[in-house]
Amino acid sequence: MARARMDWMDTLRGGAVVAVVVLHAQLTTTLVTGAALAPLVWVNDQLEQVRMPLLMLLSGVLLSRSLAKGLGRHLSGKVRAILWPYAVWMTIDLTHVLLDAAAAGRPVPWHLVGQAFHDPQGYLWFLAWLFAFHLMAGAIPAPARTIAMPAGFVVAHVVSGLGPDAERFVWLFPYFLLGDVLARTLPGRVPAVVARAADRVQVPALAAIGRSSLVYYVCHMPVLVYAVPLLWSGLEIRMPWLVWLLAGGLAMAVGRGLSSVQHRPRWRLLFGWPRRDVTQPTVGNTPFPVLRDVVSH
């Protein structure tokens, strides 16, 4: 798909990531200040059925293109682009949680370390599940994925008693498959007027966020958990709405800054393990391998 035809996807992805930051900024502000921020709670409740399903659906759209490279390259690419940043930022997140508990004299929740491998409890659960969905879908032939998608929605609506995390896992997988099914069935069948309308569904600022969605996603929570207490207690800003706005804005600003340096040698290992390109340009008579970053979405 040409870059121009991907702008609508990036815009939607960017909007979903902003919605995630808005939610987490509200939750963190409420936790620290005790203020309910009722209008924000209402907005986030309305977006609950959209945020993560949309991100999963958009991730599924690119599944077939990734699988077309071969199962081995598909899996290695997801290890580099999803599992590696999950491991890096989960380490950062867990280090903060464990040290904070120790400093406050609370029991250190060592069990979270083990759960990171099978039942992540922090904000990075999306990356863990996305990687699992790629593993699961990669083992299913395309026709079977088409059948599994509606079956998955039926299962998600009838299953109960698994616990909230497991039920959310079951609920989101069919959205991932739906993105894949749409990508395989719609091209060439969409009326021209609809395609032109889709091309207009783009907001440059949101599209820029969407193109670096992984960066914004992984870095926003560490910023919020330090920014909100600093604003409320350190700087004594006693207006919860202003704390929410400033903390959320700071999280987005840090994401913007990191997105601008994510491909530089000193920063790229935070967001993906670079792979050696198949092309081998030469300098003089000596082969000079080029490292190319994995596209995370």
Q: What is the pLDDT of residues 97-112, one digit of tens each?
A: 999 999 989 999 999 9
> Residue 126 pLDDT more than 60?
yes
> Residue 255 pLDDT more than 50?
yes
Burial class (CB in 10 A: 0-12, 13-18, 19+), 271: buried
Mean pLDDT to the nearest integer, 265-272:
93
> Residue 201 pLDDT more than 80?
no
pLDDT at 162: 81
pLDDT at 190: 67
| Distances 159 to 30, 151, 153, 171, 187 between C-alpha atoms, Å | 32, 12, 10, 9, 33
258 falls in which pLDDT band (50, 70, 90)? very high
Which tokens go with 102? 């120790």
Q: What is the pLDDT of residues 5-44, one digit of tens each?
A: 578 899 999 999 999 999 999 999 999 999 999 999 999 9
Least confident of 50-54, 101-105, 155-159, 280-284: 280-284
Q: Are 120 and 97 in contact (CB under 8 A)?
A: no
118 falls in which pLDDT band (50, 70, 90)? confident
pLDDT at 194: 67
Q: Are 220 and 19 in contact (CB under 8 A)?
A: no
> Residue 268 pLDDT more than 50?
yes
| Distances 268 to 63, 86, 235 between C-alpha atoms, Å | 23, 14, 33
Beta carbons within 10 angstroms of residue 87's beta carbon? 17
Burial class (CB in 10 A: 0-12, 13-18, 19+), 165: middle
Q: Are 252 and 216 in contact (CB under 8 A)?
A: yes
pLDDT at 3: 52
Q: Are 148 and 140 in contact (CB under 8 A)?
A: yes
> Residue 161 pLDDT more than 70?
yes
Burial class (CB in 10 A: 0-12, 13-18, 19+), 111: exposed
Average pLDDT value for the chain: 87
> Residue 231 pLDDT more than 70?
yes
| Residues paired with residue 287 on neighbouring β-strands, in sequence order | 282
